[in-house]
Structure 1
């Protein structure tokens, strides 16, 4: 009976909660200048990263012709990217740590005034950290994935147009696969967060059997989430393997192609692959945040 009451109470609280866009939007408005500067550095870093395979290919071709000019361009580009990356990491840690301190303290005060149980406040204050982590880690990962996918295939088109169409052909089933993954994951995330919210109360007053069932339930949630991600990633990797094999044959048949150009093509292809591979984890984080936002 208590489990039914808890589920119904959680359901009522979710229905009146905030939206994911509302929570993220509020945080971005409050810290728009600091976050904006961080994201400008992020764009600069990814722009320089996108040039690296091209510069590396030029360096290889120049070195094969006993010239070091391309090598110095490659070193300068990589050093510039590392400098921007270092500056961004130093700056954004300070910004996002202050954001979490402000968000968590405000949430605790608000929910105490609403007479929410202490155990739920503790859980929600911890869960709210994931919004900051999303802005700090997942948004940069998303930007990097977009640069890797879109930038990578555009650069590949400069070498061979058929590579562009092959990548787009792969993107369609991968997108459908991740939509299905997000739908399945949302249900598991809801159950996982319900259990987290009741954890402190259960530890205080639950029996040994209740506590055992609670942690067994948490373990099952994590296993289901891992299985969903593994299936999605595994199917994606099979499609990527087909793309890589076809691209290897196709590129090596280009007349008079230089060794450095072949190297650059496969570096861009790997950028595209890494971007595609990052999608399941981004989908997982968004699905979990959508459920968390309804609780806050």
Structure 2
């Protein structure tokens, strides 16, 4: 992540820190509940096989608490990030206009500003979920069987190498795509349809190439995940004295771990995109003297 991108992210975070932190706290709590489901389900299965309903009651309680937390989080974060985007977009437009940018770039970059808000609204919660899923499932797997946990941990090396390689390729492609997007208003203002058709043909080409990079990275990663899944499943059914609920929990935590790793290539590509956008919007979001006007009756401030 470049210094420009980090500075822009830091500016947005500091401006709306209380609301963002509260949203992330709820997101973290939701993911912790998700992490408990396999354990609680396994306890419910083993308990019911012995004629006990305590495990089932635990499972139902976790589910209810998770649902309540999810409702509160969804209602709060929609209000928070919608307001943030309105203020950030206005700040970008005013800041770019003060810098004398052409209209085509202002239009394109006001749309690109949405990427920063999306990063906080979608990508950061996704990272939180991936980290909780990764660390939590790995800890649970180590608790059930140390060898299984160590093998899962060893998979991080190839995952990191694959993700780094494809993120570099994605950065170059995002630069080409965003260059073309910034020319869109100028192209649409020209007479005739040849330039317009060529513009959208180039956009399609950039997006196809980006999709190919993501698909290739995902496919390479899947080969490692398939091998790991085969090992863990065989190992789980051979654990000494393993109960049905224990076997289920081990396999369920395996899927959680694999899901957290499978999202790494897409996250790397999104960070590459934000890196390029951050360079284009350099200074616009940080403008302090270009605050957007507030709606009538709306209190000032975040």
Partner of 2:224: 239
Confirm or deny that 1:194 pairs with 2:183: no
Cross-structure match for 2:193: 208
Distance, in Å, in 2 between the alignment partners of 1:241 and 1:140 is: 26
> Does 1:83 find its partner at 2:75?
no
- Is residue 60 from structure 1 mapped to residue 38 from structure 2 by the alignment? no
Displacement of 1:210: 2.0
**2:140 is equivalent to residue 145 of structure 1:** no
Check whether the contact 1:60–1:70 (CA below 8 A) recurs between aligned residues: yes
* SS of structure 1 residue aligned to 2:155: helix
How far is the alpha carbon of 1:208 from its aligned partner?
2.5
CA–CA distance in structure 2, aligned partners of residues 193 and 200 of structure 1: 13
Give the aligned CA root-mean-square deviation in angstroms.
1.2
Structure 2 unaligned spans of 5+:
282-302
Cα deviation per residue 1:170-194 (whole Å; 9 max; x = unaligned)?
Answer: 1110111000011000000000000
Matched residues in 2 for 1:169 and 1:72: separation?
Answer: 36
Match of 1:294 among 273, 279, 285: 279
CA distance in structure 1 between the aligned counterparts of 2:190 and 2:113, rounded to whole angstroms: 25
Gaps of 5+ in 1: 1-16
Shift of 1:69: 0.8
1:217 aligns with 2:187: no
The answer as to whether partners of 2:46 and 2:243 remain within 8 angstroms in 1 is yes
- Whether contact under 8 Å (1:18, 1:295) holds in the other structure is no
Aligned with residue 179 of structure 1, among 164, 176, 189: 164
Contact 1:18 1:293 (8 Å CA) reproduced: no
- Give the equivalent residue in structure 2 for 1:4: none
Distance 2:36 2:191 in 1: 58
CA-CA distance at 1:206 after TM superposition: 5.8
CA distance in 2, matches of 1:268, 1:18: 37
